[in-house]
Structures are given as structure tokens and as C-alpha cells.
Amino acid sequence: MADCCTTDGKKNTYDLAVIGAGSAGFSAAITAAEQGASVALIGHGTIGGTCVNVGCVPSKTMIRAAEALHGARAASRFPGLLGEAHVGDWQRLIAAKDDLISTLRQKKYADLLPEYDGITYLEGAARLNGAGVLVEGGPVAADKIIIATGGRPAVPPIPGIETVAYLTSTTLLELEKLPRSLIVIGGGYIGAELAQMMARMGVEVTVICRSRLLPQVEPEVSDALAAAFRAEDITLHCGITYDACREDETGVTVCVSEGGKPVELKAERLLVATGRIPNTETLGLAEAGVAQDGHGAIIVDDRMRTSKPGVYAAGDVTDREQFVYMAAYGAKLAAKNALNGDNLTYDNSAMPWVVFTDPHVAGVGLSEAAAKAVGHEVKTSIVPLDQVPRALAARDTRGLIKLVADAKTDRLLGGQILAPEGADSIQTLAMALKFGVTAKALGETIFPYLTTVEGLKLAAQAFDKDVAKLSCCAG
């Protein structure tokens, strides 16, 4: 790569400019620097992006805290045990969450920059121009560009919502005190996770959604999770339409239509959790010739290329999967392709995903409906957790495992797990899909007894036999 330094040590032209200093941006910058490229990493606002600051890290530590409360209260499922727990100091819990964020932001982002000589960090709002990037109006010349500016919470167009001091997934975790009651708009993974977390913290929670709880998952999984939520006294109103909302001194009122009838729901606070939108408005994409979809997301191909030559994009700003590990993966591919000739392709065929409710919802590959939609003749198996010895020993049989396979070849196509430890079991199925394993082969694989992942073996065997008729280890 050409020498692009002036005598004062500042770059005239970088090999790569990366716009966005979150997980995707850092992944791209580090990947490029490791290949000897000169990189301008352009950040605007708090370094580290969504995941460490307002997303994965704060939400998951609060979810685990809520699990600790629930675990104590649920001890009575074992005969002879009694347990109780409650929030003793909410502000102290929030402070501990904030301390974790600042520690990880420093260690995994800010402190990494000096470790890579090829990365120059620039702070400021960026905008594309014909020759490269403008940062706070000043030009930064670069041979190639990667856009990784992430996203932010979306707000649905409900009449009156602009007059309500609603919460988002960000501001909910910054509350100085717990509300008595909360309405959650949205039954997707963010809404589901945060609704259960708040309920376990002692808040009266109502979830309202236009479809069903977790509409992207298998219907059997959605129904079972909804039952688990109701067992924890979380109120669900699914299949509704939003009519209006308002706020007064008594709290928030959301007016919905349910089954054709108007219903008024009231709570102290309102959480809007209806997805995310990309941060693209100020980038000058239209003028630069970078195509976007109807939601504003940057359209990329399987090489992470945008419609403008030399410009790539990765992470939540794109029309790809909204998971931090896929953002980092896509950004790494973008960096390598930008520097080495576009020879790597994005592969999400064995991408595992997790929703951190309790039970966890985890999946990989095709659902039954998706497999049929692409032309497979499918077969399915469903094993409820009361057939899994681990769940019986734990006296917690909430959940099920569903597998989808090709009926002609027996090759596994996908599966979903609803189980308290499902998040740590799904990778086994991801590996099976990656290497084209059949249901028969998975059912013949040796699994350790009294583990949740053993349920995958039972589900594979359930294609051909009634696993209820097996002895404990006969499979």
C-alpha cells in the first residue's frame, strides 16, 4: 500500500475510512490494521456504540439480576424449600450496571486504539462527499469507505405518542426509580426481554403487540413463552391495533382495538420497543449514490458492498441481521473485501440467535414455514421439556425443542429451543447445520446425560420414535 504520510505524521490519504466507532466499526478497523492498512476510524458521540453502552451489556446484566430474584422466589418448586427476594436498592443496581459499562467501554474500545499503529481515531460527524469523507466539514481522503453507524430505537406512528414521555430500551435502563406499572409496546425480542425483566423487578407489566409474542419464532415456541409470561403475571394483549395514547398526572393511557372492541390500558410509564431504525439521515447517502431500503437501511450485497463502488456498510445500519456478532462478522468481511478484491461472501445459513427471556428462546437455520417457502418437503419433531431429564431434575419443564429436517434427505434444516439453558445449547445445532448433519446422525451422537443440550438428541430421535418410551439413557 502506498505511503500516505506527510512530514508531520498526519495522513493525506487513508487506505480505509470507517464511519462509526461501535462494534462493527472497531471490527472493520482492527481487521484492516492487522493487514497493514492505514485506517481512519471516525466516531461521533460515546465510543463503543450500542452494544456496550445501551444495548447488550446493560440489558443482559439487568436481566441476570432479575433472574436472581426469580430464582430465589421459584425455590419452592422443590419440596421443602422456601425463598424470597426483592429489589433492595434500585439506584445501587443501576450504578453497578453503569460501572460495568464504563469498564468494558474503556477496556474493549478506548484502550484498544493505542494497540494498533495503523488506526487514527477521528471524532466528529461524518458525511460522504465525492472524494471521501467530510468530518465536521473537513475532508478525510480514503481509498475505500465502510459505513457502520448503527441504529437507534424506532417509534411507531401512534396518534398522540409525541405528547407522551415514553421510555425506550435505552432510557428504561437509566430510570432513577422503578415505576409501579409499565405498558410495553412491542412483542419482539427487545420488548419481551425487558418486559420480563421489569416484571421480575416487581413492576406490574402489560405487553401489547400487533401480532403475537416473538412473531418471528415458531408458533409452538411463541405460545409456550406466552404461557410462561402469563404464569409470571405479565398481561399480554396480542393481535391488537394501536389507536391512540395520552399522558396526564395519573400516568399513561394507551387506546387499542382488540377483537374489534376498544380497550383502554393504563400504567405509570410506557416503554416503546418496536424495533430499531438505522442512523443514516446525516450521511448524505442519496447525494453520494448509496441506495437505501424503505426503512432507511443501507442495501448491501453478499460482499457487503453498497450501490456505490468503493463504499461498503456493515451492522445495524444495513438491511442485514441486527445482532452484534453479525455486525462484527459483516464488518470484518467488508474490510477484507475492500482491501483484497471482494472475494468473501456473507454466510448466515448457520447463524444462531438467542432471545434472553426465561426460558431462553434460541434458534438456527430455517423454521418450518421458511423451509416450506423455499421448496423443501419437510418433517418436524417436537419434544416438550418434560421429556428432557435435565428439566425434570431441575423441576422446571417450561419449554420445548422443535427440529425441522428435509423429509427426502433427512438433512437438518433448522431448529428452535425454548428452555432455561437454551442459549448455551443452540451452538450444537448450529454446528450440525454447518456440516450438513442428518437427523439420524444427530440422534446417534453421544450426548452427556442430564444436560439441556441432550434434548437435541431426543428431538432428533423423535422423528422416528416415541421418546417417552425410552429409559433414561437408552437413546
DSSP 228-241: HHHHTT-EEEES-E
pLDDT in tens, 430-448: 999 999 999 999 999 999 9
E strand or H helix that includes residue 64:
helix 56-73
pLDDT of residue 63: 98
User: Of 241, 256, 274, which marks where a domain is finished?
Assistant: 274
pLDDT of residue 130: 73
Quick one: which of 427, 457, 462 has its CA closest to 444?
457
User: Of 305, 340, 375, which marks where a domain is finished?
Assistant: 340
CA angle, 181 then 184 then 186, to 5°: 170
pLDDT in tens, 161-195: 999 999 999 999 999 999 999 999 999 999 999 99
Check whether 189 is labelled as a binding-site residue.
Answer: yes
- Expressed as residue numbers, the domain containing 412 is 353-469
* Domain contains 165: yes
Could you give the CA distance from residue 95 to residue 108 in angstroms, rounded to a whole number? 20
What is the band of 474 on the pLDDT scale with cuts at 50, 70, 90? low
For residues 327 and 293, state if they share a domain.
Answer: yes
What grid cell was written down for 244?
391512540
Mean of the per-residue pLDDT values of the chain? 95
pLDDT of residue 12: 67
Could you give the CA distance from residue 266 to residue 302 in angstroms, rounded to a whole number? 46
For residues 187 and 322, state if they share a domain.
Answer: no
What is the band of 9 on the pLDDT scale with cuts at 50, 70, 90? very low
For residues 332 and 378, state if they share a domain.
Answer: no
* Domain contains 346: no
Contact criterion met (CB below 8 Å) for 146 and 19: yes
pLDDT of residue 317: 98
Contact criterion met (CB below 8 Å) for 269 and 176: no
What is the band of 17 on the pLDDT scale with cuts at 50, 70, 90? very high
Check whether 330 is labelled as a binding-site residue.
Answer: no
* Domain contains 83: no
For residues 144 and 284, state if they share a domain.
Answer: yes
Structurally, the chain folds into a number of domains equal to 3
For residues 372 and 464, state if they share a domain.
Answer: yes
**What three-state secondary structure class fits 89?**
coil
> Is a pLDDT exceeding 90 seen at residue 268?
yes
Which whole number is the average pLDDT over 283-296?
96
Which whole number is the average pLDDT over 256-284?
96
> Is a pLDDT exceeding 90 seen at residue 8?
no
> Is a pLDDT exceeding 80 seen at residue 100?
yes
pLDDT of residue 475: 59
For residues 368 and 446, state if they share a domain.
Answer: yes
Tell me, yes or no, if the pTM score tops 0.85.
yes
* Domain contains 53: no
Quick one: which of 139, 186, 142, 214 has its CA closest to 418?
214
Check whether 187 is labelled as a binding-site residue.
Answer: yes
Which whole number is the average pLDDT over 118-122?
97
* Domain contains 44: yes
For residues 419 and 327, state if they share a domain.
Answer: no
Check whether 315 is labelled as a binding-site residue.
Answer: no
Which whole number is the average pLDDT over 47-51?
95
Check whether 192 is labelled as a binding-site residue.
Answer: yes
* Domain contains 427: yes
Which whole number is the average pLDDT over 85-112?
97
Q: What is the CATH number of the domain that holds 432?
A: 3.30.390.30
Check whether 151 is labelled as a binding-site residue.
Answer: no
* Domain contains 292: yes
For residues 216 and 115, state if they share a domain.
Answer: no
Least confident of 7-21, 254-268, 290-304, 405-419: 7-21
What grid cell was written down for 149?
453507524
pLDDT of residue 4: 40
User: Of 290, 312, 340, which marks where a domain is finished?
Assistant: 340
For residues 411 and 439, state if they share a domain.
Answer: yes
Which whole number is the average pLDDT over 6-11?
42
For residues 27 and 115, state if they share a domain.
Answer: yes
For residues 232 and 371, state if they share a domain.
Answer: no
For residues 251 and 125, state if they share a domain.
Answer: no
> Is a pLDDT exceeding 90 seen at residue 107?
yes
* Domain contains 117: yes
Could you give the CA distance from residue 70 to residue 75 in angstroms, rounded to a whole number? 9
Check whether 188 is labelled as a binding-site residue.
Answer: yes
Neighbours of 200 (CB within 10 A): 24
Read off the DSSP letter of residue 386. G
Residues in Cβ contact with 315 at an 8 Å cutoff, skipping those fewer than 6 apart: 20, 22, 23, 24, 25, 148, 149, 150, 327, 328, 330, 331
Name residue 474's amino acid: A
Q: What is the CATH number of the domain that holds 148?
A: 3.50.50.60
pLDDT of residue 11: 58
